Amino acid sequence: MADYKVTKADIIESILEKTGLNRKDIHQVIDLFAEEIKKALVAGKVVELRGFGTFEIRVRKGRKKARNPKTGETVSVSSHGVAAFRAGKELKRDVWPITAPLSAQGDGGEGQ
C-alpha cells in the first residue's frame, strides 16, 4: 500500500488513539461530517472551515468538441458543476515547505 495515501480508516484509527472514543462513533461522525458538506454544496452553499479551507461548486463551461477516450467519438459537453477546494491560510502555510510531489517522496530505494 502507498505510504502517501491516508484513508478514512487511517483517520479513524488516529482519532481513536488520540481520544479513546468508540470506533463506530468516530466513523459515524466522519460520515455525517462529509454528508453535511455534500448537502451544503448541493444546495449551492460554500463551506468554509476556517484555517483549513473552503469547499465550493464551480461551473465548468460546456464545449462543443470533446472526445470520448474509449471510443474516440466527438461529443458535446454541457456546462456542469464541479466540486472545488481552496486551501486556507494555515493549510497553505503548513504545506508550503513541501517541494517534491508526494507520490515521488519515499522513492529513495527503501523497501516497500
Tens digits of per-residue pLDDT, 37-82?
Answer: 999 999 999 999 999 999 999 998 888 888 888 998 888 888 889 9
Checking 37-42 for CB contacts under 8 A at 24+ apart, the result is: 41/83
Give CA–CA dist 68/76, Å, rounded: 10
8 A C-beta contact, residue 45 and residue 13? no
Structural domains of the chain, ranges and CATH numbers in brackets: 1-45 (4.10.520.10), 48-97 (4.10.520.10)
8-46 tens-digit pLDDT: 999 999 999 999 999 999 999 999 999 999 999 999 999
Cα–Cα distance measured from residue 57 to residue 38, given in angstroms and rounded to the nearest whole number = 10
Grid coordinates representing 60 are: 465548468
pLDDT at position 110 is 42
Please indicate, yes or no, whether the overall pTM of this predicted structure exceeds 0.85: no
